[in-house]
Each structure stands twice: as C-alpha cells, then as structure tokens.
Amino acid sequence: MKKLPLAIALCAVCASASSFAEVRINGFASIVGGKTLDDNTTRYGYDNDISFKNESVFALQLSADLQDKLSATAQIVARGNNSFDAEFEWAYLTYEFTDELQLSAGKMRVPFYRYSDFLDVGYAYRWVRPPQSVYSIPFSTYEGLSLLHTSQIGDWDSTLQVIYGGFDGDIAAVTNNDEAKLNDIAGVNWTLSYDWFSFRAAYLVAETSIDLSNGEAGGQAINGLEQLLRDNGLITQADDIAINEDDGTFIGVGFSIDYNNILFDAEYTQFEVEKSILAKQSQYYASIGYRMDEWIVHFTYEDNDDKHNKSRFDQVTQVPPLNNGINQALDGVRAQSNVYTIGTRYDFHPSAALKVDFSRFNDDISDTETDVIAVAVDLVF
C-alpha cells in the first residue's frame, strides 16, 4: 500500500495543478472511544480497556475538475487500527458523457450496501458504526470500472450503477490474514427514491480464491483436512472445501423512510461462495429513529445466520475420522447471533455530531453475550 509519502506527493501535485484545474479538498474524521463492559470479552475490536484507536478515522478527499467533462478523485484515509498510516482508499477518474451518464475507472468502493459510498463518513449516519451483522464483507474496494446512470421514472428518482473489476489483497475470512483474489467482479445496484421513501437492490458476482496457507492454526487445519480428503480419493469433497476460483454471489435489498421526524432503515443481505468451506451468510437489520431538533434517538436490531448444507459431504460419513474433521471445520465457520443497539446522536455543530451507542451482542453458538459502549464525535470539513 502507498502510505503517507504518496499522500503528501498527491497533495503537492494538486496544488501545483491549480493553475489549470479546479481542486477541491474536503475531509472527515471520527474520534471514537469504546470498551466492553465485561471482563475477558472482545467485540468490534474492543476489550474491557477503553480504546480511542480502534474505530477512529481521519481522511481527506481531493477532487479535481480537469475540464472537458473529465475529473479526478482521490480519498486518503488514516485509520486508528492501522496506526493512522495514511493510505489511498479511492483513486479514480470520471468522464461525464451527459448529465445523466458517467464512467469512472480506478480504485473505488464496492456498492454492497446503502451506505457503501460513505461507509467511513460517520457523520452520514446515526450510529457510531453501521450494523456490523450486515456490513460484514471483509473488503470494501475494487479496481475497475463503474458506469452510473441517473434519471427520472415518472415521479421517482432512479440511480443505476453497473461495475466490473477485481480485488487482490489480505482479508479476514477464515483467519485474520487470508490472501484473497477476486476476479471478474461484476454487479449492478439500483436505487429508486420518491419523496420520503427509498428502495435499493444489489446483485454482485465474482470468481473467488482465498489462500489459507498463512501459518495461522485455522488455515493450517483446513488445508490439512483438504489434503487428507484428496489422499483418500475424495476429490469432490476436497474441492468443496478449497476456496479456489469458486463462484461468489452477493444479494442485497433494503429500504429507508424519512417521514417527518420518523426514520426507518432496513437491509437484508446474502453472501455465498459455492463449493467452499465458507458458510452461506444471511443477515439483516431493522432500525427505527426519532428526530427531535438536533437530537436523534434510535433502536436497531440485527440478526446473522451463517451455516452450511452438510448434505454435500454425505459420502464422507463412511470414514469417521474424516467425517469428524469435516464437521469440526464446518462448525468452525458457522455463526449465529443477534445484536440490540440503543443510541443517540446530537448535532451540536453544523459540521459535527456527538453519538453514544450501547450494543448487546448475543452469540447463539456459544450462548454468551457481550455489552459494548462507544462514544464518537464525527466531523466533516
């Protein structure tokens, strides 16, 4: 990753280019402190010692109008959980064919969710963090193309986006440091809005490969089980565990209401990498809020259910040691949980908001619960 020196260089280039391009610099920041309320528990990167680094973010966005319908955008983000090293989150060019149609190329955000475009801009939503049961795909950017079309359909505002590209980098999938390569990411998302109501749907596919040979115990165990299946002639079952050029699919739908002082948001997503050790993930959230001048109070419920259809490994039942190994591997990637969040937001400044969230995470697999409290100040400038 290109870090601070490149960020400084880009700023210098933009400054020197101001004679022939209009350069606009915006920024945002979130200063977030949080902790769990239970000993020996962790959630959202927090333990029972308060931390102000885990979710804090500082960022600059540079936009240059190069004239003749061409523009350039770069977003440089420094995250507390990465020692505030500055990295390029976005870097792309955009050409406007018409007022309704534009094509972008470069590194951009993958449009998985309603809040994808401003995922890091805490000021844009009412929570300290978006509902993590849904906003859980372990990567958020891709390198490629985006075609965006805006129009009117009767009284409805329509935004249609088509993307194509790829991703190559480290993610937390099975272990905390898996090397992933996604080829031929292709997708479409469509948003329809009318007055106080908005609806959104997204569908994306990708050829997915994840290398688990990083030395961590979980990856080693799965690789060992895969090799053991091959050694016993169970090639199909071994292929069903490996994550190698498998078809990945993402589906998401959601809607939002902003009517008078009542706010309501809901999203449902489903993610699956076929014939792999990864569980099929289904999750949703529903959130209601009420606005009182500068204050918003809200309540959110989230549900997550990750599981396998074990019938595809029926042939292994005749070999008890392998069957036990498969069941342990499947249980290791299974998840079932729900989260309740109560929070408030106070817009104490035209460009700043104070937030407090209390979340209770219930793990149905381990039958445990973890309470997390977080306080944030979100800024835009």
CATH code at position 309? 2.40.160.10
Residue 228: pLDDT above 90? no
Query: Is residue 210 situated within a structural domain?
Result: yes
Query: Is residue 35 situated within a structural domain?
Result: no
pLDDT of the residue at 319? 61
Amino acid at 252: G
**pTM of the full predicted structure?**
0.89
Element housing 106 (H / E) = strand 101-109
Query: Is residue 66 situated within a structural domain?
Result: no
Mean pLDDT over 177-204 rounds to 97
Structural tokens at position 82: 């990465």
Query: Is residue 188 situated within a structural domain?
Result: yes
Query: Is residue 32 situated within a structural domain?
Result: no
Mind giving me the DSSP string for 339-356? EEEEEEEEEEETTEEEEE
Residue 13: pLDDT above 80? no
Residue 366: count other Cβ atoms within 10 Å of its Cβ: 9
Q: Are 268 and 283 in contact (CB under 8 A)?
A: yes
Query: Is residue 269 situated within a structural domain?
Result: yes
Residue 6: pLDDT above 70? no
Task: Supply φ then ψ for residue 295, to 5 degrees.
Answer: -110, 145
Residue percentage of the chain with pLDDT more than 90: 72
Query: Is residue 203 situated within a structural domain?
Result: yes
Tell me which residue range forms the domain holding 301. 94-380
Residue percentage of the chain with pLDDT more than 70: 88
CA distance to 68, 93, 153, per residue, from 16 (Å):
20, 19, 43
Residue 355: pLDDT above 50? yes
Residue 15: pLDDT above 80? no
pLDDT of the residue at 61? 96
3-state secondary structure of 330: helix
Residue 5: pLDDT above 50? no
* Arithmetic mean of pLDDT over the chain: 90
DSSP one-letter code for 279 = P
Rounded-to-integer distance, Cα 91 and Cα 105, Å: 9
Residue 17: pLDDT above 50? no
pLDDT of the residue at 335? 85
Q: Which residue has the higher pLDDT, 80 or 315?
A: 80
Mean pLDDT over 206-218 rounds to 85
Please tell me the least confidently modeled range out of 66-75, 254-263, 311-320.
311-320
- Structural domain tally of the chain? 1
Q: Which residue has the higher pLDDT, 152 or 5?
A: 152
Query: Is residue 83 situated within a structural domain?
Result: no
Residue 252: count other Cβ atoms within 10 Å of its Cβ: 25
Please tell me the least confidently modeled range out of 120-129, 316-325, 358-367.
316-325
Mean pLDDT over 11-20 rounds to 50
Q: Which residue has the higher pLDDT, 15 or 280?
A: 280
pLDDT tens, residue by residue, 48-98? 999 999 999 999 999 999 999 999 999 999 999 999 999 999 999 999 999
Please tell me the least confidently modeled range out of 163-172, 230-239, 326-335.
326-335
Residue of 279, 259, 263, 260 whose CA lies nearest to 271? 279
Residue 2: pLDDT above 60? no
With cut-offs at 50, 70 and 90, classify the pLDDT of residue 218. confident
Residue of 95, 37, 36 whose CA lies nearest to 65? 95
Residue 4: pLDDT above 90? no
